[in-house]
Each structure stands twice: as structure tokens, then as C-alpha cells.
Amino acid sequence: NTTNGFIVELSTDKGATYTEAARVAAGATAYTLTGLTPETEYSVRIRAYNNDGIYSDYSNVVATETTGDPSAPKLSENPFPANGAREGIAAGLTLTWENSTKAYDGTVYYTVKIGEAADNMAVVAENITAKEYKTTNLEANKTYYWQVNAKNDIGTTEGTVWNFTTTEGGVLFYTDFNTQPEEWYQKYGNIGDNTNVYNTKNSSVTVGGMTFGSGDNTIRIIAMSGANNSADPNADYGPATTDDEGASNRCLQFYTTAAGGYMTTPEVTGPCVVSLWLGNTDAKAKTVKLNTVINGQETTVQSMQLGAKKRVYKFTYTHTASGPVVFKIDNNSVKFNINDILIERYTVNGADFLELTSGSLDNKNISYADGSLSLGFNQEVKYNGGAKIQGRTQYETFDIAAAGAKININYEALNANAEYSIVFPEGAITDVSGAQSYACTMNISTCDWPALKQEGETHFGKAAATLPISMAPFDAVAPFETVGGLVQDKQNDYPHWVQASGSVSADCAVLTSTSDKLMIYFEPQSQMLGLMIEYEGTGSPRLKVQESRNCDNAPGWRTMRVLEKADFPFHGEFALNPETHFVKLAPVTIGGSLKVTAMNLSDAEGNFPAGYEASLASVVTDNVAVIASGNVITVTGVPANAVVGVYDLAGRLVGSAKGNASFNLTSGLYIVNVNGIKTVKVML
């Protein structure tokens, strides 16, 4: 370009964006850029132009970096532990820091000093290049001061003197209501005046993982801007005794003397030790409560009594149980300060505490198909029984057992779009010695049905067109009219699928192999499946009764119930999900023969084929009788403290009572559950 010139462009974001830095005359082969920022990376490119607005392609990009004037290293910053922090030393403690000095003026070397006083620190590492140092010989419950000096070929920069306090275990949570947690510091660390954290009722606010709130009373909770602590035991807010020392200066104040004010810590994993430094704001004795919240259950574990002096008092509580726990401080209608809260890991009798290492306590959208879940621990465990299952609506089963370091949960007959909880209380899961317990709640939610069968999919068009229908005659090949006009040409096909290794006649199908199955595919909505089955043999039969919206697509079949030896001979009905279009009988074990003499589907109103008599009008289970008459379900023979629950087909509770009870309901199919054990289906 000899008539116009060149444009020089600069980027300081690695070429993401460019700005014009200069225009250079035609024929130039060099240009000096001025006014650049020291220690900055630049990307440079040029292109030619003319006055007609025509530009050449860009040149190759040249990357460069400015160095600045020669200087000693920058000041080290961002220490770990943070200045004033508390850190556990059970697993050792590595000090780290940051320093952004680049090696323009030679390699940067660091010298680390540590001591129990800021003016008496000893060199523990010298001429190291890594920005970390693993400490040795630190003692618990002491405050250490440390400094990092940096040097290069130009000179040495002395670092800031930081400090931290050691604890015996690892720190799970700490707040000084000043610098920690970080979110608290950002919001309240630099306030000039006392500032409300909370000042309302029936609400809550969360800062730094801590939640502050109240019930029906308006409670004022304040972040205090000034020091509310003294090293002098004779001064206001000094330690009440030498055992009460260790509080930091700033605090949180519960100001309102009304009930219902509280704060909670973040959830931590036990066993652990919680230490609290509480300040009495006057010379009246008062009590503050410490509660634990485990699996939603709140328990008062310590009443913390502040003496009749304006002093700071330290309280310690050891929580020996494993598993998630939240600590809650109840204001108990008194005015007081909280200077510090420290939660540390706790080791039981020198052994590793029981800890969950694999598996999840929150299992969302899992398959409703029969399966299993497991919880893995850091050591061998025992299951001692006592788990409570919540959310059962029909015949769901959960088989829980320990195997080495795992708790295995095998489940059957879960509903679609359902929610369950397995509550393991204290003592249910323990280490092999029984000294430690892991209390927790496992939550489970199941997925939706697969989509309806679409044109082009396997078996599309083979559904039975009308209801009610019966599998009898069992030996027929094509007894049902199909929606697609297809004619079944073999027994092991839809809609009337009979696959039986025993005899098959018009009146029955005999299942003798675990590969046998009876299935029906139907189009209209059916309310119930009715069965009559006999067992012969000396084995332990298990027969799954299953349903699906589309069994050929995952998750496929859902087990409604598993019939076992004690259930035979069986004559009963199963309430079907309104979305069901497939039903199936599938033996898991037999050890003899299962003779199916009736397998009938009702229509949407619950009407069965002629000749089949439903079994639901009156059912007696042990001493409990469930009787349906008109629109009333009557339950008798129930112990006074036993709970009777009545559910609709969607699993919603529509009635509940203790002992003998009657329920006036609209027409429909209901599930009656007695004390979470006995379940009966009733048609009104």
C-alpha cells in the first residue's frame, strides 16, 4: 500500500475484541506503540486501507507482554487459612497464598515464618518457589501468626502478618459474624452502624448458609458494628472464666425479648462438636436453647445458661450421631449476643466416624420398575431394622439389608409419578460395634409412564378394541377384536398373549416356568384387573402382577403387587392406573405350578365380564373387616391406636381415623390401609 496507509489494532483480552491504536503512513515498516500498561498481555494486528473504504485482510496476530519497570515482588495476598480463621489440624494443615509477580526480574522465592506471637516468628521455610507450605508440629487450640516474604533479583517484599487459630478436628463451619462466612463479610463486614439482619415475623432470611427467622412474633436480629468482647475478665463482655475465652470481637444480637426467634447453621455431617460463645447483654441470668434438626425432627439438646453478669460464656455440645444435622439456636425470649459458632469434626474413641461416601439421599425421577438403590459408607455397617417407609399407597415393598460397607435397598411395586421417603432413625444404621449411628432420610421420586404406543412401533394396532374382556378361553388364538383390525395368528402375541409351559385349556393356563407369562393389550380405559389363581407345589412361588402404558419402551412394566405362597389360592382385584394399556402375569419363582383360572379386565366403570364375581364387597384380614355398603366404607376390628387411611386411585389421602371408622365417599375405587400394613381395595 503506497497511497494511503495501515491501521494498527490492539487487544487486551486475547483477541476477543480490538480497538484502533494508530494509523501509519503508506510505506512504513515499523511503528512504536506508547502509553501501554505495565505487566499486560497485548495482541497486535494490522491491515492496509485506502480512502475509498477498501481494507485488506488482517495480518497475522502478534502476542506480546509489557514488563514494567524493574521492581521487587508484589505483596502476597489471599492467604489460607484466611486471616483470623479457625482451622482443624487432625489431617494436617497446608498454608497457601497468592502472588501475581511475574518472573521479569528473576525467579520469585518465598520465605515463610510462623510463631505464637506476631513479634516472635521463626523461619520454617526459605527460598521455596511453590506458593504453599505444609505445617508440622502445630498444637490444637492455639493462635499462630505467619508471614510470607517474597524476593527476586531486585529485592525483597515483606508480607502482611496473618493469624489463624487451630482446632483439634476439621472445621465443618465457622462464623465470627465479621469476616466469615464470605457472604456475611460482603454484606455486614464493613458496616459503620448496627444493622438489622431480620426485623419481621413469620419469615426468614439466609446469609452465608445461616438462616434467621421467627414465628408469630416480630423479632429484631442485629449485626453489631462494634466490638462486644474484651480480654479483661472483669470488663463487660470479658470471658466469664478462663474456660470461656476465645470469642472474637463482633457479634450478632437477638434484641427482641419475645418467643420464636431463631437462627440455624448450614447442614453439616455428624459426629461433630459445636462450640458457641454467647454474650449476656445485662446482669440477669438467662437461658438460650440449642436444638438439633435431623430428618425434620427438632430436639432440644442443651439449655445454655448465661450467668448473671455481662460476660461472654462458652458452651460446647458433642453430637455423636453420624449423618446430616442442622443446629438451631432458639432465643427463648431473651436478649443476648452470639460472638462465634464453631462446628468441628468429632472422632469417636479414636476411630473414623461413620460417613456416607457413595449413593444419594435424594433420588429424583428414578424408574418405577423394580430395582435397587444403595448407600456406601467408609466402613462396614449393620442394619438393625427400624426404618420407616413413607408414601406407600398400595403394595410397595422395600427390602433393606447391610452388605459390608453398603446398605442395599431392593424395591418392588413402586407407583409412577410417586414420592417415597425411607427414614433411618438413630440406631437403624450403625458401625459394626454399634457405637456410632447414621440417621438420615432417603427421598425417592419415580418417573412418568412411557409415551403411548405410536404408529410404526412394535405391536401398534394390536390392542383389544372393547372392554370388559376375559382371557378365557385361554387356548383361543384370536378371541379379541383389535383396534387395527389385525388378527392374532399365534398364542404368544398380543392382544391375548398366552405363554404357558404347563397345560393350556379353555378354562385355565398352568404356569410352570419363569419364562411363562400371560398378557393383555387393550385400548379403552380399564378400572380393574380381576384374577383367580391356585398354587400346587412345595416351593416358594412369587408371581408379579404388572401394568404399563407402553411395555415396549422404558421404563416398561410396573409391578402392582407380588403374590407369594401365603396369598394362594388368590381371588382378588387390582386397581389399574387410568393410563394402563398392558397387564401381565410374570412368575419370578414357582417350585410347582400356578393355575390361572380367571384373568379379567373391567371396563372404565368397573364392570367385569359375565360370570366373574368380584371379591371386594367385604374383606376380612385377620381381625379387621372392611365392608362397603352404598357410599360408605366401614372398617371394624381395628385397635384403638391403629391408623386407618383411605386413598383414591391417584394415591391421595381422602380419609383418615384411628380405630374403627366409617367414611362417606363418592362412587369409585378406593384403597384402605390399616396401620401401614394391611391394604384392601374397595369399590363403591
pLDDT at 433 over 50: yes
DSSP state of 565: G
**Range among 85-94, 157-166, 569-578 with highest mean pLDDT value:** 157-166
The pLDDT score that the predictor gives to residue 617 is 36
Q: What is the DSSP string of 8-35?
A: EEEESSTTSS-EEEEEEETT-------S
The pLDDT score that the predictor gives to residue 351 is 56
Question: Which whole-number Å values give the CA distances from 283 to 253, 276, 310, 334, 519, in the listed order?
Answer: 16, 20, 5, 12, 80
pLDDT at 323 over 60: yes
Q: What is the DSSP string of 242-307?
A: GGG----S--EEE---STT-EEEPPPEEEEEEEEEEEEESSSS-EEEEEEEEETTEEEEEEEEEE-
DSSP state of 513: S
Smallest CA-to-CA distance from 337 within 299, 298, 286, 267 is with: 286
CA separation for the pair 282, 237 (Å, rounded): 10
The pLDDT score that the predictor gives to residue 650 is 57
Question: Which whole-number Å values give the CA distances from 368 to 117, 427, 667, in the listed order?
Answer: 63, 29, 29
The pLDDT score that the predictor gives to residue 649 is 65
The pLDDT score that the predictor gives to residue 349 is 52
pLDDT at 599 over 80: yes
pLDDT tens readout for residues 132-142:
999 988 888 89
Q: Which amino acid is at 450?
A: P
The helix or strand, by DSSP H or E, that contains position 202, with its residue range, turns out to be none
- Report residue 473 CA to chain centroid gap: 52
C-alpha cell at 220: 429484631
The pLDDT score that the predictor gives to residue 655 is 81
Give me the residue label for grid cell 401365603.
566
pLDDT at 677 over 70: no
CA separation for the pair 184, 396 (Å, rounded): 46
Q: What is the DSSP string of 567-589?
A: G-SEEEEEEPPTT--EEEEEEEE
The pLDDT score that the predictor gives to residue 347 is 61
pLDDT at 425 over 60: yes
pLDDT tens readout for residues 174-187:
999 999 999 999 99
Tell me the longest C-alpha to C-alpha distance in the chain: 109
The helix or strand, by DSSP H or E, that contains position 150, with its residue range, turns out to be strand 143-151
Within 10 angstroms of residue 400's Cβ, the number of other Cβ atoms is 20
CA separation for the pair 281, 288 (Å, rounded): 13
The helix or strand, by DSSP H or E, that contains position 532, with its residue range, turns out to be strand 528-537
The torsion defined by the Cα of 127, 131, 136 and 139, in degrees rounded to 10, comes to 130
Q: How much is the average pLDDT of 24-32?
A: 89
- Indicate left, alpha or beta for 625 from its phi (over 0: left) and psi (-120 to 50: alpha): beta
pTM equals 0.51
Instruction: State the pLDDT confidence band at 352, using cuts at 50, 70 and 90.
Output: low
Count CA within 13 A, CB hemisphere, residue 88. Answer: 17
pLDDT averaged over every residue in the chain: 90
CA separation for the pair 153, 542 (Å, rounded): 82
Q: How much is the average pLDDT of 430-442?
A: 89
The pLDDT score that the predictor gives to residue 89 is 79
pLDDT tens readout for residues 512-570:
999 999 999 999 999 999 999 999 999 999 999 999 999 999 999 999 999 999 889 99
pLDDT at 229 over 60: yes
The pLDDT score that the predictor gives to residue 657 is 81
Q: How much is the average pLDDT of 331-355?
A: 82
CB 287 within 8 A of CB 332: yes
pLDDT tens readout for residues 39-83:
899 999 999 988 888 888 899 999 999 988 899 999 999 999 989
Beta-carbon contacts of 573 under 8 Å, excluding residues fewer than 6 positions away, are 528, 529, 530, 531, 614, 615, 616, 681, 683
pLDDT at 621 over 70: no
The pLDDT score that the predictor gives to residue 189 is 93
Instruction: State the pLDDT confidence band at 329, using cuts at 50, 70 and 90.
Output: very high
The torsion defined by the Cα of 590, 595, 601 and 605, in degrees rounded to 10, comes to -100
- Give the whole-number percent of the chain exceeding pLDDT 90: 67
Count CA within 13 A, CB hemisphere, residue 562. Answer: 17
pLDDT at 620 over 70: no
The helix or strand, by DSSP H or E, that contains position 528, with its residue range, turns out to be strand 528-537
pLDDT at 414 over 50: yes
Q: Let me know the angle formed at the C-alpha of 482 by 479 and 486, rounded to the nearest 5 degrees.
A: 95
Instruction: State the pLDDT confidence band at 667, using cuts at 50, 70 and 90.
Output: confident
Beta-carbon contacts of 509 under 8 Å, excluding residues fewer than 6 positions away, are 471, 474, 498, 500, 502, 503, 518, 595, 596
The pLDDT score that the predictor gives to residue 126 is 95
The pLDDT score that the predictor gives to residue 619 is 41
